[in-house]
Amino acid sequence: MTQRIVTRTPQRRRTRRAILAGIAAALARAPLVAQAQPHDGVRRIGVLMATHADDPEGQLRAAAIIQGLGEHGWIEGGNLRIDWRWAGSDSALYERYAAELIVLGPEVILAIATAAVEALRRQASAIPIVFAGVTDPIGQGFVASLAHPGGAITGFSLYEPPMIGKWLGMLTQISPPVARVTVIYNPETAPSAGMLGVIEEAGAASSVAVRGAQVHDGAGIEAVAADLAREGQGGLLVLPDPFNTNHRDAIVALAVRYRLPSVYAFRIFTVLGGLMSYGVDISDLYRRSAAYVDRILRGAKPADLPVQAPTKFEIVINLKTAKSLGFTVAPALLATADEVIE
């Protein structure tokens, strides 16, 4: 059966995807790192990405950054040179590429995800850093406060505390019911200790047992899924983590194979066949991050730019997956969906 996507705001989403797809196609044809030195008047920035260079989702996210820069008059290959580095979920690559970018001497570096910021900060450089996709910038020591970052780092956060209650609430609106939830993450790429504690507290309030499961490779993911299926009445919560994003095909396939109700932080998981997702519109977040890159290029200091919270969220439910696995999604939950895949 052909997959059909029902969207609450079709025109806006079609237009945005068409723009991003076009930019992504152009980006894919361009070299990842320019070889020529910039001519007079060309500004230079670095970008440390949390996906791989050949990942279509990573290319779309990069396209959103390019689109955002273009909205402020910065054109890659024109008045702007961008040095791209793609670390995926490899902690060693984050360190290597952070060092490489700093040696290149960009005027500002856009750091995607926590691991990128940590690697850049360890280089003890004075180059301004704009982050996009950090969950807890204060708790992770990146900024002194959201309103007054106070240093060379600022940016756009990925996470708001109410998201945790929403993730658990969605899992409790699936039949057969979920009695326990396993939260998977890689501690090397996701600083999830604080988030996990909040999830456990929310689970206790909802009479749902919560436990964390650290995963480092595909075998670890499968072991977690198999154990959860063997126990019965288990659900899977997949945190926003570069490791999880880069292993999304395996995670979704295992959740389907073991018939596990699952909720994800990004839409891409649900499009691939995951049951449901709730989280930030990631392309919007990356596009917005370009505004701070622009302001720093024009003379602003990171210390004076408050950390911005996410403003656009999306709920996506894959009814095709629900029906194939024998799950029933509560009508109240379906009514809140921004997108339903049938």
Domains of the chain: 5-158+282-313 (3.40.50.2300), 162-279+314-341 (3.40.50.2300)
Sheet containing 129-134: order of strands: 80-86, 43-49, 108-112, 129-134, 153-157
pTM of the model: 0.85
**Kind and range of the H or E run holding 234:** strand 234-238
Segment 211-219 shows an average pLDDT of 93
Which string of b and e fits 115-131 if b means at least 16 CB within 10 Å? bbbbbbbeeebebbbbb
Q: What pLDDT digit, counting tens, does each position of 104-144 carry?
A: 999 999 999 999 999 999 998 899 999 998 988 998 899 99
Amino acid at 133: G
**Helix (H) or strand (E) run with residue 85 in it:** strand 80-86
DSSP string of 219-247? HHHHHHHHHHHHHSSEEEEE-S-HHHHHT
pLDDT in tens, 234-284: 999 999 889 999 999 999 999 999 999 999 999 999 999 999 999 999 999
Confidence (pLDDT) at 193: 60
